[in-house]
Chains A and B, each alone.
Chain A
Amino acid sequence: MSILVDRSTRVICQGITGGAGSFHTDQCLLYGTQFVGGVTPKKGGMMWKGEKSGRELPVFNTVAEAVRATGATASMVFVPPAGAADAIMEAADAGIRLIVAITEGIPVLDMAKAKRFLKSFPGVRLIGPNCPGIITPGQCKIGIMPGPIHKPCGPNERGVGVISRSGTLTYEAVFQLTALGLPQTTCVGIGGDPVIGTTQIELLELFENDPQTEAILLIGEIGGTAEEQAAEYVARHVKKPVAAFIAGQTAPPGKRMGHAGAIISGGSGKAQDKIAALQKAGIEVAPTPADMGLAVQKALAKKK
């Protein structure tokens, strides 16, 4: 088991003919993801070819067409910022169930409207935007993360579920887990923007209910109060061991630290408050980014 994606997931790429969309579709194919097509308006009818994989995929003008022709249920969005929110809404309207938006730099109000639009499509899930994507190691990778650092769960083996607001910091965490021999069930980059599709709480619930997931690693950062809410949720509803790390303990207030959502404003969003809330909920918080894997080990040991 895993959450949200596995080897049967049929995926298209919106923005497949662009540089990044093309490169990463190719990388995902090499990893084994079942990509079945792509969408680029005005380029419908052509065949896309992966440079390294050599695989060919049909390109469509609209997501609706792509879904009809391929039966895709998931989409990886690489559309540039100005059109990305529209691409997300198009995917939902066309019947895509899982939308993974990689694009960075979408205006906040565009995402606010897109997220409200998605409310009329129950069962449609958006991951991101401004995220590395989602991976179930050994089965399905939809995103830009390096595949080989992950460790798939063997048959009857349990693993760690990873939830993160960041990209390379997630790779760092996964690398540490793999080095400690801890396999991962699914790793989800939820995105660094102020408005994101899937929240930490929703994923905590999915991992709590996934029998293969043994422990959860939550990687947060400054800005907003999502980690405080997640901590409260863990205290009430999560029985599995949870470890966490919060980036930005040394970030000054009022400055946006790279991610649009990583800003301490009006006295809220501080790392110290998040860490205190997580610890109060019994979560093992790593003191430094070098200790994320160890924190998971400690959390596992405590529950045994």
Chain B
Amino acid sequence: MKVHEYQAKELLAAAGAPIPRHIVCKTVQDVATAFDQLAEGRGVMVKAQIHAGGRGAGQLVGYPEKLGGVKFCATQEKARAVAEAMLQHPLKTLQTGPQGQPVRTLLVQADAEPAQEFYVAVVFDRSQGVPLLMASAAGGMDIEKVAHETPEKILKVPFAPETGLLPFQARRMAYELGFTPEQAPVAEKIMLALAQVYLQKDATLAEVNPLAVTKTGAVVVLDAKIDFDDNALFRHPDIAALRDEGEENPAEVRAAKAHLNFIQLDGTIGCLVNGAGLAMATMDIINYHGQAKGVGPANFLDVGGSVTPQGAVEAFRIILSDPKVKGILVNVFGGIASCATIAEALVKAGKEVGFRVPVVVRLEGNEVEKARAILAAAAADLPTLKSAPDLTSAAKMIVELSQ
């Protein structure tokens, strides 16, 4: 689960990290009031709060001038104009897709112009099985690029989840990054806060980028990002309450409520599959046979271990709510459950939902012959439903039929 910048900063502040003063705003009037409280004769930063990264380099869609999601405003008039533009135009960044993401919340932040920018993050090192503090003096920019082009500029310290990041580890990191003896204790505090939030709240990523030394010499968290482990939310009601469903894909939110694992993609063939690995593999085989014809998967959908009529109804509805969808491939491996039960569930769902597009069903496993007979018998009610003898022909059929 992702949270907004202001939520991440407030969690870090509660753990002892210094952050610039800020006020969370929903309206232009809020922003004007916040300006008066925070400007101190210099001005404020107005920052659009969306979950996607790359906000500063982004662009408001449909806004005539060049304006992204982060802007310094020296006057209240400017802050009002910027706030109005941001609240009225979706923000497009490298991570949002071309339509952009509507901006509903703005963060007004006291001016803290950076003189120097660092990157610090706690991530999970899968190969070692422990959390890892990662830092670089080349902050502010795309850290993936730094990691790729100059990996020696990234310092790494793994730490034990039982003890957490130890003060000496943070101290050593601070000096190795080149902080002065005056700055180092504050940088340490920020790193310890990052590790503390990461461990206590079950984060999967806790990142400060940049950690800035401002022109006035203060060491602060200028921007922060924290992602949380969905599987641990059950023990963190405070974190679960930070969820902003407005930032998530509506079809994905709807699917999650029905306990379906769904991810929206760009193609035209909807997929309904049992099991995550098989669901990915099904997307891949559609792409394999369809790519040359411009046909690809419209979604990832894992309906879980068992296929029920209710689950299938909701799954078909979600897939068909995407107007791009021109065909659906159902690929179910009936393990312990009978394929006949699955076929009955699919037919029942089909009758309830109504298939406006071709649907190819590939079932394999227990009692598959019985299942094929059930599908064949439903042909009169579901004329667009076809049964395929194997996975390859199923993929080829749906690519063909969708065109």
Contacts and interface: CB of A to CB of B under 8 A. Distances in A.
Query: A and B, one complex?
Result: yes
A223 B365 CA distance: 28
6 contacts: A116-B160, A116-B161, A172-B391, A258-B279, A266-B123, A288-B395
Interface in B131-152: 131, 144, 147-148
Interface of B: 95, 123-124, 126-127, 129-131, 144, 147-148, 160-162, 199, 202, 204, 229-232, 234-235, 261, 263, 265, 273-288, 296-297, 300, 302, 305, 333, 335-336, 364-366, 390-392, 395
B235 A167 contact: no
Interface in A125-181: 144-146, 148-149, 164-172, 175
Contact of B284 (A82, A110, A148, A289): A289
B276 A259 contact: yes
Contacts of B202: 107-109
Contact of B277 (A164, A175, A288): A164
B126 A194 contact: yes
B336 A225 contact: no
A217 interface: no
A110 B161 CA distance: 9
Contact of B287 (A81, A116, A192, A250): A250
A54 interface: no
A170 B278 CA distance: 8
A290 B391 contact: yes
Contact of A116 (B129, B281, B283, B300): B129
A248 interface: yes
Q: Which 10 A-B pairs have CB atoms at the shortest separation, nearest pair first?
A: A166-B277, A258-B276, A168-B275, A169-B277, A289-B281, A107-B232, A146-B335, A247-B280, A168-B278, A290-B391
Contacts of A27: 336
Given A113-B162, A116-B161, A249-B284, A289 B278 contact: yes
A258 B261 contact: yes
Nearest to A172: B333
B277 A112 contact: no
Contact of A108 (B124, B296, B305): B124
Q: Which of B230, B279, B287, B392 has the most CB of A within 10 A?
A: B279
A171 B234 CA distance: 31
Q: How large is the interface on A (under 10, 10 to 19, 20 to 34, 35 or more residues)?
A: 35 or more
A245 B281 contact: yes
A68 to B, nearest CB: 29
A146 B366 contact: yes
B232 A168 contact: no
Q: Which of B147, B161, B261, B284 has the most CB of A within 10 A?
A: B284
Contact of A254 (B95, B160, B231): B95
Contact of B280 (A108, A164, A251, A290): A251
A251 B283 contact: yes
Contact of A257 (B263, B285, B364): B263
Contacts of A149: 335, 365
Contact of B281 (A81, A82, A226, A247): A247
A169 B281 contact: yes
A169 B297 contact: no
Q: Which of B161, B204, B231 has the most CB of A within 10 A?
A: B231
B276 A257 contact: yes
A105 interface: yes
Contact of A266 (B147, B278, B284, B390): B147
Contact of B285 (A106, A260, A289): A289
A168 B391 contact: no
Contacts of A221: 277, 280
Nearest to A24: B336
Interface string A79-111: 001100000000000000000000001111110
Interface string A170-207: 11100100000000000000001011000000000000
Contacts of B123: 266
A298 interface: no
A258 B281 CA distance: 12
A280 interface: no
Given A109-B161, A168-B333, A261 B281 contact: no
